[in-house]
Amino acid sequence: MKFLRSLALLMLLVFVSPITVRGWGVDGHFITCKIAQGRLSQKAVDAVNHLLPDYAEGDLASLCSWPDHVKFRYHWSSPLHYIDTPDNLCTYQYRRDCKDEDGVMGRCVAGAIRNYTTQLLEYGKQESQYNLTEALLFLSHFMGDIHQPLHVGFTTDRGGNTIEVHWFTRKAVLHHVWDDSIIETEEERFYESNVENLINAIETNITNVWADQVQTWENCSRNQKTCPNIYATEGIKAACDWAYKGVTNGSVLEDEYFQSRLPIVNWRLAQGGVRLAANLNRIFG
């Protein structure tokens, strides 16, 4: 059974091509999942290793971008990567905002996190109606997505995807700046273009600079396994306070924007990783 699951996932990965994504880019998802891996309980490590296909060799981070690559095949999954909120209100409400373009409730990243958490709670039962390997990969990816501020953005500009800017001398859209450009520039300037060095720096901040915040990040209200409404509410606030602020079509974003927004990006990556680990630890006991 595990061989067949591994083969099916491998075939999906072989026949995909890069597509436009909403949420962190490849490095952002890798960072989030790598941080989470280092914080898993032994029970969670065992469950994750059992669910991952063999070729992943126990490395969850290596497959955390998989849900972006299969959107062309799983068309139904595209709306699950983001939340569109009313322009300029800078608030999120589940019943108002968590729906797709056809108005189907629950079809947003917050609803997806709830759904795949519920599916994974069937782990260990003799039979499950769900593909728990896919549930693990979707949940891990969406926990990263919901922490990218523009992933909970405004409806009209599609989370910054229609706001054209210059990132230093290169043309980009604002959403891509937050997906990739800030992280890539940070890696180039400070970490010799090595994502592992950046991960080490963020993990150091988790145990030092942000140590007094970590327990709050990990906690969930009313004994729930996951709290995506909290993550989404933080996301739209960060989008308004930092991502959108001072930016219009044609803006040139250079050092001032980069240096002031960089701490927010690293903070959200850290929160996503810590919370993913906490969620998986609660799920797998």
Q: Domain containing 104 — which CATH number?
A: 1.10.575.10
Q: How many domains does the chain have?
A: 1
What amino acid occupies position 244? Y
pLDDT of 21 higher than 60: no
Strand partners, 165: 172
CA 180, CA 91: separation in Å to the nearest integer? 25
- The residues near 86 (Cβ < 8 Å, ≥ 6 apart) are 96, 97, 154, 155
pLDDT (0 to 100) of residue 127? 84
% of the chain beyond a pLDDT of 70 = 92
What is the distance in angstroms between the CA of the first residue and the CA of the last residue of the chain?
A: 24
Residue 128 confidence (pLDDT): 86
Residue 5 has pLDDT above 60, yes or no: no
Name the residue with higher pLDDT: 12 or 184. 184
Annotate 192-223 with b (16+ C-beta within 10 A) or e (fewer). eeebeebbeebbeebeeebeeebeebbeeeee
Strand 164-167, strand 152-154: pairing: unpaired
The confidence score (pLDDT) of residue 6 equals: 44
Please determine, for residue 16, whether its predicted confidence score (pLDDT) is greater than 80.
Answer: no
Residue 18 has pLDDT above 80, yes or no: no
What does pLDDT average to over the chain? Answer: 92
Helix (H) or strand (E) holding 164: strand 164-167
Q: 150 is in which domain, residue-wise?
A: 2-284
How does residue 223 score in pLDDT terms, banded at 50, 70 and 90?
confident
Average pLDDT value for residue range 216-243: 94
Question: Mind listing the pLDDT tens digit for each residue in 101-147?
Answer: 999 999 999 999 999 999 999 999 888 899 999 999 999 999 999 99
Contacts of range 122-127, beta carbons closer than 8 Å, 24 or more positions apart: 123/47, 123/51, 123/283, 123/284, 124/47
Task: State the pTM of this model.
Answer: 0.92
Mean pLDDT confidence for 202-222: 95
pLDDT digits (tens, 9 = 90+) for 42-88: 999 999 999 999 999 999 999 999 999 998 899 999 999 999 999 99
- Over residues 140-187, the pLDDT tens digits come to 999 999 999 999 999 999 999 999 999 999 999 999 999 999 999 999
CA-based torsion, 224, 229, 233, 239: positive or negative: positive
Nearest to 214 by CA among 147, 272, 264: 272
